[in-house]
Amino acid sequence: MSHASTAKYALNVGNFRELVQFCAAMDPARYHPVRLNLKIKALQEALVVAEACLSDVERTHADVVAAHEADPEAQRSAHVVHDRAREALNVILYAPGEGIVDLANDGKTYLKSLKGPKEGNLHHITHLEFRSPG
């Protein structure tokens, strides 16, 4: 990770990727949530958006670092673009009830509710941490 402030973002997105991959690999007869946003396709689409936003934050941070040697106006401009990218990622990750963090925690709750034999790595997946800012 190129910057310490993106580490929490990357951890949430990486853990969400693990959760989505785990759910997608499950037997569809076992993984069939009623909630539309917990369906595999919806989870995969949310992951694509989160990964793209994380990539934007990392790219714009690199631009801020590169602008460090540039004139003050270039620095301000790079910071503005980076701040906008971070704001977009914050919405994707932390929007109440709709963000990746809440979605992932809802997905973990659903996985914990499944009855029958335990899936391999279910314990690991349900113990992944998804952190809100702060």
Rounded distance between C-alpha atoms, residue 40 and residue 35, angstroms? 11
Rounded distance between C-alpha atoms, residue 129 and residue 58, angstroms? 21
Query: Looking at residues 67-82, what average pLDDT do you find?
Result: 86
pLDDT of residue 91: 96
Is the CB of residue 30 less than 8 Å from the CB of residue 114? yes
pLDDT of residue 5: 65
Q: Is the pTM of this model over 0.95?
A: no
pLDDT tens digits, one per residue of 34-43: 999 999 999 9
